[in-house]
Structure 1
Amino acid sequence: MSLKKASLLILIILVIDQVSKIYIKTNFMLGEEVDVLGWFRILFVENDGMAWGAKIPGAYGKILLTSFRIVAIFFIGYWLWDSVRKKAPKILIISISLILAGAIGNIIDSVFYGVIFDSSLGQIATLFAEEPYGELLKGKVVDMLYFPLYNDTLPNWIPFWGGERFVFFEPVFNIADTAISTGFGLLLVFNKKAFPKK
């Protein structure tokens, strides 16, 4: 697979990711939810950019996380370039492209959203707002895809958790997260094809 085709794949994912996030930011208030199919909902949430809403403590935690992710993008980009140069298997190049596209998509939120949007709390955000909600490198990542496949009270006969409310699948994510997860998933499933032994 050529670098041109890999770049096109990355660009397509980035456009879909950013268009969906900007649409959500400019049409939904934080916490607003739309039921699409019952088991699939659009739910607008924001996070500081780590999995499961985790945070790095301290005043510079967010800047440290964003800076680390920017450096990681350069390493992933080099990995992609080197793989194309060495004519690596197509599945490896596609996987790296997906991971890189997702990483860049979430980095855009972290780097720029704090200075181009105002707050979404209790209002619909404005793009290129006069009073943005944050600073450069301190933006929040926009998530909106929610798949509560099971959302009910567990039967009482189940040990430990019986009678408690249970939601599966609870995380809310975005297109960039989907691209990263798909890229890693392809590497796991097609490991032997992606990394053939010489």
Structure 2
Amino acid sequence: MPRGRFTVGALRTVLTALSRSIKRRRWKNNQRGTVVRRDWLLAFGLVALDQLSKILVKGFRIGAFVHHGMVPGQSIPILGEWVRITFVENPGIAFGLPVGGAKVLLTLFSFAVSMMLGWYLRHLGGVPFRARLGVIFLFAGAMGNFIDRAFYGVLYGEAPLLHGQVVDFIDVEFPDFTLFGRVYTRWPTFNIADSCITLGILLTLLFHRYLPSVRQLRR
């Protein structure tokens, strides 16, 4: 009889511990789900900000309302010659670097990178925010420029699908320098997506030790 009471008590203890473990796991999963949703909200908020800035520069039409935007090559001083808004359409990669004739491949590559970063970000709920932020910036930057390349040509009646050009407009003064054989008297014109990519690379390099490998995520 004592042995039976002991067995029932032990079973009750095990079940209680198991129940608490399940509740803790559910709580952690809920917390991670909340974190992931916030990360997505921030990422797509950055994409929206990037796209809004570009259509304000390039112009748009909604019904009877027309915003004409700027003419390619037009420049508006913000802080004298140090900071200007200069409308440039870039057929290449970040900061106006050329890619030759591989336009469609570049567009498809940027889409593939966006999807891989999105998949990776989805699994980082338990990673410190400072490390996740780098991936958030990278995703937002890649997705922002992909939208330009994939759809702007069609939306503005300028080029076929996947042949659009990226809208750049942030123009800052910088000491002369040479990059890939080209001499620049100002920093190459860029956009918010380019800035996100740069910040994402820097943050990822700083906090890469907190980021799991793809192999670890698949276990």
Aligned to 1:65: 106
More helix by share: 2
Gap regions ≥5 residues in structure 1 = 118-131, 152-164
Does the CA-based 8 Å contact 2:75-2:87 persist in structure 1?
yes
Question: Which structure's CA Rg is the greater one?
Answer: 2
1:171 aligned counterpart, secondary structure: coil
Question: Which amino acid in structure 1 is aligned with residue 204 of structure 2?
Answer: L
2:124 aligned counterpart, secondary structure: helix
| Number of positions where the alignment pairs a residue of Structure 1 with one of Structure 2 | 162
Aligned to 1:29: 71
More strand by share: 2
Does the CA-based 8 Å contact 1:143-1:173 persist in structure 2?
yes
TM-score (norm 1): 0.75
Aligned to 1:148: 173
Aligned to 2:52: 19
Deviations 1:52-97 (A, max 9, x none): 431232xxx211111111111111111111222xx12211211101
Question: Which amino acid in structure 2 is aligned with residue 178 of structure 1?
Answer: S
1:77-116 equivalences under 5 Å are 77-84=118-125, 87-116=126-155
1:45-56 equivalences under 5 Å are 45-51=88-94, 52-56=96-100
2:89 aligned counterpart, secondary structure: strand
Aligned-pair identity (%):
35
1:175 aligns with 2:192: yes
Shift of 1:150: 4.4
Shift of 1:49: 3.6
Comparing 178-187 with 142-151, greater Cα deviation is found at 142-151
1:45 aligned counterpart, secondary structure: strand
Aligned to 1:120: none
CA distance in 1: counterparts of 2:120 and 2:168, whole angstroms: 27
Shift of 1:11: 1.7
TM-score (norm 2): 0.69
Gap regions ≥5 residues in structure 2 = 1-31, 60-68, 177-182, 213-219
CA distance in 2: counterparts of 1:106 and 1:141, whole angstroms: 6
CA distance in 2: counterparts of 1:144 and 1:166, whole angstroms: 16
Could you say what the CA RMSD is over the residues aligned between the two structures, in angstroms? 1.9
After superposition, the Cα gap between the structure-2 partners of 1:25 and 1:88, relative to the gap in structure 1 and judged at 3 Å, is: same
2:163 aligned counterpart, secondary structure: coil
Aligned to 2:206: 189
